[in-house]
Chains A and B, each alone.
Chain A
Amino acid sequence: MSSSTDSPTLTTETTQLSPQPDTETAKPTKKITLKSSDNQIFEVEESVAMEFATVKSFFEDSPSSTDIVPLPNVTAKPLSQVIEFCKEQIKFKANPDEAQKKKYNAEFLTEKSDKDLVDMIPVANYLEIKDLLDVLNQAVADRIENKSVEYVRNFFGIDNDFTAEEEAALRREHAWAYEGVDED
């Protein structure tokens, strides 16, 4: 597998390979090219791509392959966010600092919109990035924990398939569970 210096046009979505200021800079890093379903090309360091279990197994299955890795279920925006997250996690793997990592994860999550989070989950799931999936699922759970039923339907784009009578009966059954809920 050769490093893909001759890769196709890099889009604005591409995660820039900023030179690492540490001692590792001497070693040239291998790069792997990923292609999203909307045909955007991402060039990422091998170490980052190996965080994606799906990509890793792609190379294990066909080690000689030099092709671009197509990701047919993944669009560019959530993919770029996932890559951004994984790049940071690699740094924490090299220099474990739980407090810094927690802080980064919290910041990463708070600046994302509800839609960003919900869109990233299937990507993390498809690429089998366990840590990220766990972080995202917890973030979504935290966001909806104290919300109303209507808010949650809206959040996930779910249609209400209960009749008005059925819904009223469910509300009566656990009236206390509807108390103290955040304003939408």
Chain B
Amino acid sequence: MIADILSRLPVKSLLRFKSVCKSWHCMITDSSLGFQALHYDRSQRKPRFLLQWPDFDFRPLEPAGCRYVYNFISIDTEGNMISPIQVKVQEPVKLILPGCYGLVCLATETRIHVFNPSTRHLIALPTDRGEIAGFGIGYLSSAKGHVIVRLNIPRQSRTSLSWKLECSVFTFLPENGGPKWRAVKDGCPYLVEQFSFPAFANETIYWKIDRGKHQALHRHNDFIVSFKISDEKFQTITHPTDWRPETHRQWRSPVRNSTQLVELRGHLYMVETAAFSYVAVWKLTDPGNSMWSKACTIDISKFHPSFVGELQCVKGTEIIFNSFTHLLLYYDEENKTSRKKILPCSAANLTIYCESLTFPATQHV
């Protein structure tokens, strides 16, 4: 009875109620008891957004590791403010990935950090060889643990099509032999777009290939490179046959055409945004054979292009987009109607996550 009631509460309340009594403390903190899973199951139905204030503070007098201070506010999908959150890191943050089972992954030039916005735990993962060419986060259900994947810029320049990016993985699982990166046998056959978001679905992380950086592709329509975290193998996936890549650029911009990968209801989707015109959504129905099916097309000709950012999530019949301005855009797929919500700051840098109590216990970081 108590577990069912408490599983409906936000993490902040639960962290406080750990001190109600010993049995509550045990239920809330012990990940093996099933309460954390029940809680996550419920919180999945009410995603939240981390909204990043455009400026960050540089505090040179602070100890190393927390000189760059970023301010966020967490909001619900209706734009209601929940709480302010601060993150302190060593170097400027380059990219923050959408949350995966409660954890958000963020990268600076040389380091990847794992952050739980609901418990406010932040861990800087150890550094690894070289510069970060790409990264992603996944969750291995069989092991009940997160897996962080890092692609490293190789020391030698590429000479042939047999060239591959090195890849290493980081898990918080005890059998991994302590907190360190482990090199994976298979390599990544393509450079990936460094500043677009990978998506995680079906135990697989999907990145868009940085087609502009390759003179030749293995297949002319190769579009996505994927990494399955359970067997640690890379694969390439071609784009939908009814889609033309020529006019699309990698950079996010309101006035250019762009493509995005996103996970919705456990599947990978590709979203094409053609400024002043339409948003088209494809679902990857068969990753092994690069089979896509068109899920929907949304007319956005009536919207200013800065109103339509990335597709964030689907709630009921509504598709929620962030924007390049101070608003969230909701498109009702059934009634073909839309509405907007004004936010306290720009929605351009917005990260979706679900509340979770999980945080991997690591000693030395």
Chain B residues packing against A (C-beta within 8 Å): 1-2, 4-6, 8-10, 12-13, 15-22, 24-25, 83, 119-120
Contact, CB under 8 Å: B21 / A153 = yes
Minimum Cβ distance to chain B for residue A184 (Å): 13
Minimum Cβ distance to chain B for residue A38 (Å): 21
Contact, CB under 8 Å: A160 / B21 = yes
Contact, CB under 8 Å: B1 / A141 = no
| A161 contacts across to B, CB distance below 8 A | 21-22
Contact, CB under 8 Å: B20 / A137 = no
Q: How far is the CA of A37 from the CA of B25 in the complex (A)?
A: 34
| B12 contacts across to A, CB distance below 8 A | 176-177
Within 8 Å by CB of A178, from B2, B16, B21, B83, lies B16
Can you name 27 A-B residue pairings with CB atoms under 8 Å? Answer: A121-B1, A137-B1, A141-B5, A141-B6, A144-B5, A144-B13, A145-B9, A146-B13, A149-B16, A149-B17, A149-B20, A152-B20, A153-B20, A158-B20, A160-B20, A162-B19, A170-B18, A170-B19, A170-B25, A171-B19, A173-B15, A174-B16, A174-B18, A176-B120, A177-B12, A177-B16, A178-B16
| B17 contacts across to A, CB distance below 8 A | 149, 152
Contact, CB under 8 Å: B8 / A137 = yes
Q: How far is the CA of A174 from the CA of B9 in the complex (A)?
A: 16
User: Which chain B residue shows the least CB distance to A159?
Assistant: B21
Given contacts A145-B10, A177-B12, contact A137 B4 (CB under 8 A): yes
Minimum Cβ distance to chain B for residue A141 (Å): 4
Contact, CB under 8 Å: B13 / A162 = no
Interface string of A141-158 (1 = CB under 8 A from B): 100111011001100101
Minimum Cβ distance to chain A for residue B119 (Å): 8
Q: Does A138 contact B (CB under 8 A)?
A: yes
| A176 contacts across to B, CB distance below 8 A | 12, 120
Contact, CB under 8 Å: A156 / B2 = yes
Contact, CB under 8 Å: A122 / B1 = yes
Q: How far is the CA of A162 from the CA of B18 in the complex (A)?
A: 11
Minimum Cβ distance to chain A for residue B20 (Å): 5
Q: How far is the CA of A10 from the CA of B5 in the complex (A)?
A: 35
Q: How far is the CA of A173 from the CA of B19 in the complex (A)?
A: 11
Within 8 Å by CB of B1, from A125, A158, A162, A178, lies A125
Contact, CB under 8 Å: A141 / B8 = yes
Q: How far is the CA of A178 from the CA of B16 in the complex (A)?
A: 6
Q: A141-B5, A174-B15 are in contact. List 5 more A-B contacts (CB 8 A).
A: A144-B5, A148-B16, A153-B21, A173-B15, A180-B83
Q: How far is the CA of A167 from the CA of B19 in the complex (A)?
A: 6
| B13 contacts across to A, CB distance below 8 A | 144-146, 177
User: Which chain B residue shows the least CB distance to A148?
Assistant: B16
| A173 contacts across to B, CB distance below 8 A | 15
Minimum Cβ distance to chain B for residue A142 (Å): 8
Minimum Cβ distance to chain A for residue B316 (Å): 13
Q: Does A181 contact B (CB under 8 A)?
A: yes
| B120 contacts across to A, CB distance below 8 A | 176
Minimum Cβ distance to chain A for residue B244 (Å): 45
Q: How far is the CA of A137 from the CA of B22 in the complex (A)?
A: 22
Minimum Cβ distance to chain A for residue B354 (Å): 17
Q: How far is the CA of A122 from the CA of B12 in the complex (A)?
A: 27
